[in-house]
Amino acid sequence: MKPIRQIMGSSQGFTLIELLVSVSILIVVVGIFGAGMFQVLSIQRFWTDDVKAVREVRHAASWFAGDALNATDVLDAGGVTRLTCTPNPSVQQVTLTWTDTSGASHNVVYSVSGEELLRDFDNNGSPLTMADRVVANSVSFTLCGNTLRLNLDVLADRNTTDSLDLITYVRKLD
């Protein structure tokens, strides 16, 4: 059997320079991989938030269009005056009214409160939030003939906005 000195003496070890170079290369590779993973996760989060904003706007548009098709009248914020073709930025609320087949009358109010578009059906006391992060003073309601229009901007990530320009018919307008 060979003594340990003889075994160790014949093998060459790593120099300090070789060790530092290999560790430096390893650090660079790990850094590049970590930055790539960070980018992938960031892009996924931004994409998910944008999809959520678009989904909320589409959801609000669906409810609004359905209510408009039932409406027999479209009134301003006070529920007194019918809307007109002229956009009025001060009107941040609209009331759609109708009577169903059983003779019961219904009112649905769409309003902007802070950064939310709300839908209140028959004053039930707890309005539904139709869209979050609504851009201030971006909502407008107009009525030309039997065409009802809703314009709305929702704040998405990276300081971009998703816009909704919904044009629907008020089928039963008096």
State the DSSP string of 37-97: HHHHHHHHHHHHHHHHHHHHHHHHHHHHHHHHHH-SEEE-TTSSSBP-SS--TT--EEEEE
Residue 121 phi, psi dihedral angles, 5° rounding: -95, 120
Q: Mean of the pLDDT values across residues 110-116?
A: 85
pLDDT of residue 10 exceeding 60, the answer is no
pLDDT at position 79 over 80:
no
Phi, psi of 54 (to 5 degrees): -65, -40
> Each residue of 150-171: pLDDT tens digit?
888 887 766 777 777 888 888 7
pLDDT number for residue 8: 59
Of these ranges, 23-32, 59-68, 90-99, 102-111, the one predicted with the greatest mean pLDDT is: 23-32
Arithmetic mean of pLDDT, 105-116: 86
Share above pLDDT 90 across residues of the chain, in percent, rounded to a whole number: 7
143 neighbors 82 (Cβ within 8 angstroms): yes
- Provide CB contacts within 8 A for 63, sequence distance 6+: 119, 128, 130
- C-alpha distances (whole Å) from 160 to each of 39, 46, 126, 153, 156 are 19, 11, 30, 10, 5
Helix (H, G, I), strand (E, B) or coil at 150: strand
Residue 101 backbone dihedrals phi, psi, to 5 degrees: -65, -20
Distance CA 124, CA 78 (A): 18
Asked whether the CA dihedral 65, 68, 70, 76 is positive or negative, the reply is: positive
Q: What pLDDT was estimated at residue 2?
A: 66
Q: Is 9's pLDDT higher than 70?
A: no
The confidence band for 27, taking pLDDT boundaries of 50, 70 and 90, is very high
pLDDT for residue 11 = 59
